[in-house]
């Protein structure tokens, strides 16, 4: 194997890392966030955001998305609302954050009011209940996709994989409170990452 052949993979990786993410406008941010907010039912909104912002439009990287998700879970308030603010700020600054949060909430605000009026007139509607259960199941599958992509992305980094597995077990399976888990796992994650960075620098 020649030197050029052995160096090609690393050069390809550097080239991929150098590819700039696609810029976007405030109008496009509003359109995407409004559509996600008005069409999402039963949870799984982080999966929608991942599909739109990372995979489909390449607005932010997977690492930035994971960082936004981690920060959003540690902050007070709804996780997905915090994520929308974080990603809007990354893309277009404070104005982008304000645009995303307004677009994300304005549709559901009026939709919930209209749905409440409809349900009040329908009473006990079994068909409506069954349809909402089906939509919730689809949203759960979409959210599971985000979790699986996170595991795949961290499979070559044993420290990140360890943190991911511990979080899934403690929060997802054992149903431990999120705050104590974050208080424990966050410094452990930072320490493991610091040690890995120090080892790579040698």
| Average pLDDT per 10 consecutive residues for the chain, totaling 202 residues | 42 41 84 90 76 90 86 83 92 94 92 80 66 68 69 70 80 82 82 71 62
Residues 98 and 69 in one domain: yes
Residues 15 and 40 in one domain: yes
Q: Which domain holds residue 163?
A: 157-202
Asked whether 161 and 155 are in contact (CB, 8 A), the reply is yes
- Predicted confidence at residue 135, as pLDDT, reads 66
Q: How many residues does the chain have?
A: 202
Distances, alpha carbon 172 to alpha carbons 68, 93, 147, 164, in Å: 19, 33, 11, 11
Domain count, the chain: 2
Residues 120 and 169 in one domain: no
- Predicted confidence at residue 99, as pLDDT, reads 95
- Predicted confidence at residue 43, as pLDDT, reads 60
- Predicted confidence at residue 71, as pLDDT, reads 84
How many angstroms separate the first and last alpha carbons of the chain?
Answer: 27
Residues 131 and 178 in one domain: no
């Amino acid at each position: 194997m020649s030197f050029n052949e052995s160096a090609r993979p690393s050069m390809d990786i550097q080239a991929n890392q150098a590819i700039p993410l696609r810029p976007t406008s405030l109008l496009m941010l509003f359109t995407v966030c409004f559509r996600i907010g008005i069409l999402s039912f039963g949870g799984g909104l982080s999966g929608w955001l991942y599909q739109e912002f990372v995979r489909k439009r390449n607005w932010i990287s997977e690492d930035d998305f994971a960082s936004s998700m981690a920060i959003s879970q540690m902050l007070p308030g709804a996780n997905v609302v915090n994520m929308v603010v974080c990603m809007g700020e990354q893309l277009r600054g404070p104005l982008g954050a304000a645009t995303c949060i307004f677009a994300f909430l304005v549709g559901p605000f009026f939709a919930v009011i209209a749905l409440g009026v409809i349900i009040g007139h329908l009473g006990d509607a079994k068909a409506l209940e069954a349809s909402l259960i089906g939509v919730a199941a689809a949203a759960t599958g979409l959210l599971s996709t985000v979790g699986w992509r996170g595991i795949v992305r961290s499979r070559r980094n044993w420290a990140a994989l360890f943190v991911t597995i511990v979080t899934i077990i403690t929060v997802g399976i054992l149903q431990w409170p999120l705050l104590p888990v974050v208080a424990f796992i966050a410094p452990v994650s930072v320490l493991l990452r610091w040690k890995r960075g120090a080892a790579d620098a040698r």
